[in-house]
Chains A and B, each alone.
Chain A
Amino acid sequence: QSALTQPASVSGSPGQSITISCTGTNSDVGGFFYVSWYQQHPGRAPKLMIFDVSKRPSGVSNRFSGSKSGNTASLTISGLQAEDEADYYCMSYTSTTSSLVFGGGTRLAVL
């Protein structure tokens, strides 16, 4: 299974907005609404931030939002805060294997 494509790193200043992209194919990101995003701080387990492309779990800040256009999904974080500095992973259902595939991960630096 090929991983989804994410930028290796992104950065932003406190208060700014950033967007992380996640590019797949029409067999995964483009074909289904099963894209989710995970935040992982060093030494910690991943945390679900967005599911089903754009839905936010209870307790996740509304500064986090998700969207999709064609074969590319995006995670936008507005009003950047120092605590947002972490690794972010997208994941999608893939019909190729009827299973799941992760993106390679994006390291967010809050400068």
Chain B
Amino acid sequence: QVQLVESGGGVVQPGRSLRLSCAASGFSFSNFGIHWVRQAPGKGLEWVALISYAGTKKSYTDSVKGRFTISRDESKNTSHLQMNSLRVEDTALYYCTKGGWSFDSWGQGTLVTVSS
């Protein structure tokens, strides 16, 4: 069955970097876009970034533009979210999801805590 497994979260100081990974299995990875969605503690869902199935389209929410970069590695069925210049307000559980304009599969998330 479809599996999305996030990793790479942790505690990091403001201004530092972190790279999240999403390992996909159980479906044809190259045929689907990958999105990252985050949820701050006790808050709602926030769409963060997407990369199209061919990797040609990338899009980001305004608050992470210029700091986060989404990528995909077809050879490893993996997506990455490179997060630079992290801010306290980036603290959240980061989910990897698959799909076009709706998400039928979600990972369990990886927690990113930005704190001094």
Contact = CB atoms under 8 A, between A and B. Distances in A.
Contact of A102 (B47, B50, B62, B107): B47
Interface stretch (B17-25, B78-86, B95-103): B95-103
Nearest to B59: A99
Contacts of A34: 101-102
Contacts of B44: 3, 87, 89, 102-105
A102 B104 contact: no
Interface stretch (A14-22, A71-79, A90-98): A90-98
Contacts of B61: 1, 99
Contacts of A93: 101
B32 interface: no
Contacts of A97: 59, 62
A57 interface: yes
A111 interface: no
Given A1-B61, A97-B59, A100-B35, A48 B102 contact: yes
Interface of A: 1, 3, 34, 36, 38, 40, 45-48, 51-52, 57, 87, 89, 91, 93, 97-105
24 contacts: A1-B47, A1-B62, A34-B101, A36-B102, A36-B103, A38-B45, A38-B103, A45-B109, A46-B37, A46-B95, A46-B106, A51-B104, A52-B101, A57-B104, A89-B44, A89-B45, A91-B45, A91-B47, A91-B103, A99-B59, A100-B35, A100-B50, A102-B37, A105-B44
Interface of B: 35, 37, 44-47, 50, 59-62, 95, 101-104, 106-109
